[in-house]
Amino acid sequence: MSGADAKPPEHIQTIRLPINQADIAGVEACINSGSEDCRKCRIPGQSNLSLMNYTLLREALTAGGITAEVVPVQSPNSERSRKMIQAGIADVKTDWVFNISPAEGALKTAPLFQSGEIEKGLYARPGFMADDLPETLEDIGTLRAVGIRTWRLDWQVLESLPVASLISAATTRQMFSLIDAGRADFTLLEFSSQEDMGREIDGIWLYPITGIKVSLPATQHFMVSDQLEDANKVVAALDRGIRVMRDNGFIHRCLVNNGVINPAVENWHNLNSPHATTKPAAPAVSTQ
């Protein structure tokens, strides 16, 4: 198709993207800076996953033929973000396939991330287990895990591990606080692309236990509110954009520069691979 015959991009005034309250300042700083580097996943060492999702949504819309301003709206957690999409208070977010139901007001794009593509570390206090690194699945049997029950896939993976106990927290901040206070030993977090792979909230730093990781066995998609005007056109455009971003390596670059795909952990033992030992019984669960 010649340039004269090319179809001009469709314009949608705004797309509202719910952002975790712990990440929104970083997303807004990128938007206000006007820098294309942070909007194009060009900067290695990033650790704001909401900024990565903002970048992927913005790029997918553009590559799919839609011009729109992506506007962050604050949300306390993923469950609330999902409800905002279903209620039409927000327009698009990333989510796992099992959380997206047309019957609940949501449409689903093609997979943005493939099953098993996203890996997570077992994040704990600095120096935790430094002198007694685990080598097998059973070696973590004395550890106490904390997760967010509404993060269904993370929770499923945590339940599959032979940990001593599993605590349910309400927010990411609370997970960090519980570990910092010594009430839990670890949680699951995406790897950071920083050299030490550390992640921080409110001055609390957590680091992955060396040598072990898990993978998340499900696809992740853009979840689109069916109350968004021309929602089906937006889904079709995002599908086109995802294909383009896969083909040109943009998705892979974002995942690497944000540490989600981290070459440093390539040879670490995957605890929930098909060859990992399954646990004999479920951990005790409590709610905070």
Q: Angle at CA 198, nearest 5°, toward 150 and 143? A: 60
Q: Which two tokens stand for residue 99?
A: 């959380």
Same domain as 191, residue 100: no
Average pLDDT over all residues of the chain: 88
Element (H, E) at 210: strand 204-215
Kindly state whether residue 127 falls inside one of the protein's structural domains. yes
Q: Which two tokens stand for residue 74?
A: 């604050």
pLDDT at 275: 44
- Alpha carbon 71 to its chain centroid, in Å, reads 19
In angstroms, rounded to a whole number, what is the distance separating the alpha carbons of residues 229 and 68? 13
- State the pTM of this model: 0.76
Same domain as 275, residue 157: yes
Q: What's the structural domain count of the chain?
A: 2
In angstroms, rounded to a whole number, what is the distance separating the alpha carbons of residues 124 and 184? 9
Radius of gyration of the chain (CA): 19
Half-sphere exposure of 42 (CA within 13 A, CB side): 8
**153 DSSP 8-state letter:** H
pLDDT at 281: 37
pLDDT at 21: 85
3-state secondary structure 62-98: HHCCEEEEEEEEEECCHHHHHHHHHHCCCCEEEEEHH
Q: Is 8 exposed, middle or buried (0-12, 13-18, 19+ CB in 10 A)?
A: exposed
**pLDDT tens profile 86-140:** 999 999 999 999 999 888 999 999 999 999 999 999 999 998 887 677 766 677 8
Q: What is the DSSP string of 158-186?
A: HHHS--SEEEE-SSHHHHHHHHHTTS-SB
Pick from 217, 199, 100: nearest CA to 160: 217
Tell me how long the chain is: 288
The answer to whether residues 272 and 217 touch, using CB atoms and an 8 Å cutoff, is yes
The answer to whether residues 217 and 38 touch, using CB atoms and an 8 Å cutoff, is no
Same domain as 280, residue 246: no
- Tell me which residue range forms the domain holding 134: 119-216+265-287
Kindly state whether residue 1 falls inside one of the protein's structural domains. no
Kindly state whether residue 6 falls inside one of the protein's structural domains. no
Same domain as 103, residue 18: yes
Same domain as 226, residue 104: yes
**pLDDT tens profile 213-240:** 999 999 999 999 999 999 999 999 999 9
- pLDDT at position 282 over 60: no
The rounded percent of the chain whose pLDDT value lies above 70 is 89
